[in-house]
Amino acid sequence: MTNSNVSVGPMDHCNTTDPLTYQVLSWLMVGEFVFGLPLNVSVLYIFLFRFKFWKTNSVFLFNIVVADFLLMVCLPAKAYNYQHGLRRSQDKTQCQVMLFMLFINRGASIAFLTTLSIDRYFNVVHLGKRNCVKFFRKSPLISLLIWLLLLPLTIPTMVEGFECCNSHGRTDASHNVTDTFRELVFFTQILIPFVILLYCTVCIVHRLRKKTVGDKTKLRRAVFLVTSVVIVFSVCFLPCTLARAVLLAIRLLNMQEVETLVAQVYDSLMVLSYIDCLLDPLLYCFCCSGFRDAYVEAFCPAALLRRMPSLDNSTRTTTTNSVGRIVNVPLVQK
């Protein structure tokens, strides 16, 4: 009789209220994992063995890929919970570890993305001036420092027990200190980088459009690239942030019936945010010509061979060797 009263009392915040919705969300995460894992693994392979990121000033790019990969490997566990009618794991340790992994890896991805945007801002808008980020990107120690700085922001997810990893507004004031800190981290790690990213992008686009010298096609491509980064960031992260704010407000007002619906919307938008792990390699890695050539050479040599005949005339130049004989030297290095 007691169990029956509990089940019809306050909403069970761990169990899903609409199994069909969460079944669909679980398969979406499976799809993100199936497509994202080989993509991120192949990109990591190129960075480590073909592109040699430590020699090409691509340390920030490499860290973005590492963070996306670690976030990607968490998706099967979340999909498993959704398929079994659970919004979060009911096992306290597993729930906290999952939340820790999601927080730190998504935070790292956003942090390195923001740092990369600042670097591009200085390279385009303040070209020729001293760029401290340009110096930092050559040092792996800076990347390590960013990871270490994220730890104190993420550790609170591990130190307090809370209802289904999601208790803000339901517990007493002593627990709310940790919960409030966790919520502040959630919002600031998205909103502050978005403001920085938006400012850098506006300045970069304005500067590029003022250029009168250079290939117009390349300038348009550069404008499209920096603009698409803001669009992807906005689509992936801002909707779930807004939904989270609405969910907290409704929870504090103790509107349980509405909370059920808003929680479904929030979970759906969080699943959408994981698609960032698929888009980051496309936006950053494949827009780098050196990385793109290394990737094509490693995984699509046939496509490279088809390109070579059409590039023979444009990629070769004549020079004179040591004995005065004219030879052709390819400008594209393999």
d(CA 274, CA 105): 11
Range of lowest pLDDT (26-30, 135-139, 181-185, 246-250)? 135-139
Contact 162, 13 (CB under 8 A): no
Contact 247, 262 (CB under 8 A): yes
Contact 183, 160 (CB under 8 A): no
Query: pLDDT value at position 259?
Result: 84
Indicate the pLDDT class of residue 284, thresholds 50, 70 and 90: confident
Residue written as token pair 């420092």: 145
Contact 228, 148 (CB under 8 A): no
Query: pLDDT value at position 168?
Result: 53
pLDDT averaged over every residue in the chain: 77
Indicate the pLDDT class of residue 5, thresholds 50, 70 and 90: very low
| Full DSSP string of 74-106 | THHHHHHHHHTTBSS-SSHHHHHHHHHHHHHHH
Higher pLDDT, 175 or 84: 84
Residue written as token pair 């270490």: 148
- Count of CB atoms within 10 A of residue 159's CB? 8
Contact 123, 114 (CB under 8 A): no
Run of H or E including 329: strand 326-330
Per-residue pLDDT of 31-45, as tens digits, reads: 999 999 999 999 999
Range of lowest pLDDT (24-33, 153-162, 190-199)? 153-162
Contact 116, 204 (CB under 8 A): no
d(CA 219, CA 209): 8
Indicate the pLDDT class of residue 25, thresholds 50, 70 and 90: very high
Give the chain's count of helices (H) and strands (E).
14, 2
The rounded Cα 1 to chain-centroid distance in angstroms is 48
Per-residue pLDDT of 49-108, as tens digits, reads: 888 777 666 888 888 889 999 999 889 999 998 998 888 877 777 877 888 888 888 889
| Full DSSP string of 236-280 | HHHHHHHHHHHHHHHHHTT-HHHHHHHHHHHHHHHHHHTTHHHHH
In this predicted structure, the answer to whether residue 124 has a pLDDT above a threshold of 60 is yes
Average pLDDT estimate for 115-141: 73
In this predicted structure, the answer to whether residue 174 has a pLDDT above a threshold of 80 is no
Going by C-alpha positions, the residue among 65, 62, 93, 94 that lies closest to residue 77 is: 94
Query: pLDDT value at position 289?
Result: 75
Indicate the pLDDT class of residue 14, thresholds 50, 70 and 90: confident
Query: pLDDT value at position 4?
Result: 35
Query: pLDDT value at position 192?
Result: 94
Indicate the pLDDT class of residue 28, thresholds 50, 70 and 90: very high
Higher pLDDT, 41 or 126: 41
Going by C-alpha positions, the residue among 246, 231, 232, 235 that lies closest to residue 269 is: 235
Range of lowest pLDDT (25-34, 101-110, 124-133, 142-151)? 124-133
Is 11-299 a domain of CATH 2.60.120.620?
Answer: no
The rounded Cα 184 to chain-centroid distance in angstroms is 19
| Residue environment code for 117-137, b if the CB has 16+ CB neighbours within 10 A, otherwise e | bbbbbbebeeeeeebebeebb
In this predicted structure, the answer to whether residue 331 has a pLDDT above a threshold of 70 is no
Q: Which distant-in-sequence residues (6+ apart) come within 8 Å of 174 by Cβ? A: none
Strand partners, 186: none
Per-residue pLDDT of 204-244, as tens digits, reads: 988 888 876 666 777 787 888 888 889 989 999 999 999 99
29 burial type by CB count under 10 A (0-12 exposed, 13-18 middle, 19+ buried): buried
Average pLDDT estimate for 119-144: 73
User: Percentage of the chain with pLDDT > 70?
Assistant: 74
Higher pLDDT, 311 or 48: 48
d(CA 246, CA 263): 9
**Total residues found in the chain within this entry:** 334
- The residues spanned by each domain of the chain are 11-299, 307-334
